[in-house]
Amino acid sequence: MATLNISDRQNRQLFYHTTSWVGANSITQQIARHKGRTCLDFGLSPGFYMSDTLDTCVGWAQAKRQLFSSEVAILIFALPRVEQYPTSLKYRVINDPEWSQVTKHSRLCLGETNFTHDHPYIRTCDLLYGNMVSNPDAVKKHGKEPITHKLPLKQLVSKSDAADKFIRNCLVGCVFFQKAAAKA
């Protein structure tokens, strides 16, 4: 795990990823985005999703606590500013109108059986940054247009092995929560 020099904070941006304790231990060794879910905001193929706010991850942890057997970990990554990303990584910010097209295509799983049918805007990128969809079920189940949260919540997504390695090397910490045992 990398260490973050306090004086270097101005050149870093923090990102957070919610997972189980077992998942956190695995991620400290290697990010395996292929184990993630398909057809999320940024692509048919799985990605490694991170929020740029701790509050978003804490809220997600509370909502998904049962999924993680009541043992939730929030990993903390300190990435350099975008202009300092390795030049070998292709980074793209997704804004409208592409954001609406990409997230709808992704959430509807168009071309689900062959990930090469991923939206062209995504297919060649290592890292994508943009808003989170606030109505994922409405998009996926009813084909509605994706909308953002009232105060847009942002996410960074890794879509390649090179980006996974870059992100993992920026891991600086973990917050662990465990459900309190029931009183007898």
57, part of any domain: yes
Residue 53 sits in which domain range? Answer: 7-178
146, part of any domain: yes
77, part of any domain: yes
Q: How far apart are CA 170 and CA 15, in angstroms?
A: 10
Q: How far apart are CA 157 and CA 36, in angstroms?
A: 12
pLDDT digits (tens, 9 = 90+) for 80-101: 999 999 999 999 999 988 899 8
Please say whether the dihedral angle defined by the alpha carbons of residues 110, 64, 158 and 94, taken in this order, is positive or negative. Answer: positive
Choose the weakest-confidence range: 57-71, 118-132, 136-150: 57-71
183, part of any domain: no
2, part of any domain: no
135, part of any domain: yes
- What value does the CA radius of gyration of the chain take, rounded to a whole number of Å? 17
117, part of any domain: yes
184, part of any domain: no
Domain count, the chain: 1
pLDDT digits (tens, 9 = 90+) for 134-163: 999 999 999 999 999 988 999 999 999 999
**Cβ contacts of 37 within 8 Å, gap of 6 or more:** 46
